[in-house]
Amino acid sequence: MFTAELDQTIAAVASAPGGAVRGIVRVSGADAVAMIAQVFKSSETAVLPASRIAYRQSGTVRLPDFPLVQCDAWVWPTARSYTGQPLVELHLPGSPPLLECVLESFFKHGVRPARAGEFTLRAFLAGRMDLAQAEAVLGVIDADDHEELTTALNQLAGGLSGKLFQLRSDLLELLADLEAGLDFVEEDIEFVSREEVIRRLQQGIDAIAQLETQADGRMLSDDQLRVVLAGLPNVGKSTLFNALSNSDDAIVSAVAGTTRDYLSTRVTCGELKVELIDTAGFGHSETGIDGVAQQLGSEQVGEADLLVWCVACDAVEEEITADQLAVDKLNARHDRVIVIKTRGDQVEGGTGNVGSRSAEEALVVSSVSGEGLDDLRELIAGTLSGNSKGERQFVGSTAARSRDSLRRSRESLQRASEAAAGRFGDELVAFETRAGIETLGEIVGTIYTDDLLDQIFSRFCIGK
Ligand SMILES: Nc1nc2c(ncn2[C@@H]2O[C@H](COP(=O)(O)OP(=O)(O)OP(=O)(O)O)[C@@H](O)[C@H]2O)c(=O)[nH]1
Ligand SMILES: [Mg+2]
At residue 317, does pLDDT exceed 60? yes
pLDDT score, position 390 = 44
pLDDT score, position 243 = 95
The DSSP code for 116 is: B
Rounded CA separation 416/178 (Å): 11
**Helices within 109-193 (DSSP H only):** 118-125, 131-142, 146-156, 159-183
Q: How far is the CA of 311 from the centre of ligand 2 (A)?
A: 13
At residue 336, does pLDDT exceed 50? yes
Q: Which ligand is nearest to the CA of 254?
A: 1
Name the average pLDDT for the chain: 84
* Reported confidence tier of residue 99, pLDDT bands at 50, 70, 90: very high
- Going by CATH, does the domain composed of 3-130 fall within 3.40.50.2300? no
Q: How far is the CA of 362 from the centre of ligand 1 (A)?
A: 18
pLDDT in tens, 414-442: 999 999 998 788 899 999 999 999 999 98
At residue 288, does pLDDT exceed 60? no
Correct CATH for 154-220+402-439 of 3.40.50.720, 1.10.3470.10, 1.20.120.430, 3.40.50.880: 1.20.120.430
Which residues are paired to 93 by β-bridges?
A: 22
Instruction: Give the total residue count for the chain.
Output: 464
Q: Which ligand is nearest to the CA of 282?
A: 1
pLDDT in tens, 165-176: 999 999 999 999
Q: Report the pocket of ligand 1 as residue ranges, CB < 6 Å.
A: 233-239, 252-254, 256-259, 280-281, 342-343, 345-346, 366-368
| Of 405, 243, 217, 218, nearest in space to 308 by CA | 243
Give percent of the chain with pLDDT exceeding 70: 88
Report how far apart, in Å, the C-alpha atoms of 367 and of each of 235, 332, 334 are. 11, 29, 26
Q: How far is the CA of 331 from the centre of ligand 1 (A)?
A: 24
Let me know the angle formed at the C-alpha of 285 by 280 and 286, rounded to the nearest 5 degrees: 155
Judged by DSSP in three states, 238 sits in helix
pLDDT in tens, 188-241: 667 788 899 999 999 999 999 888 877 776 655 445 688 999 998 899 999 999
Q: Which ligand is nearest to the CA of 367?
A: 1
Give percent of the chain with pLDDT exceeding 90: 37
- pTM for the whole thing? 0.58
Q: How far is the CA of 104 from the centre of ligand 2 (A)?
A: 60
Correct CATH for 226-384 of 3.40.50.300, 3.50.50.60, 3.40.50.1370, 3.40.190.10: 3.40.50.300
Would you list the domain boundaries of the chain? 3-130, 154-220+402-439, 226-384
At residue 291, does pLDDT exceed 80? no
To test the pocket of ligand 1, the residue of 232, 234, 260 to mutate (highest count of ligand atoms within 8 Å of its CB) is 234
Q: Tell me whether domains 3-130 and 154-220+402-439 share a fold.
A: no
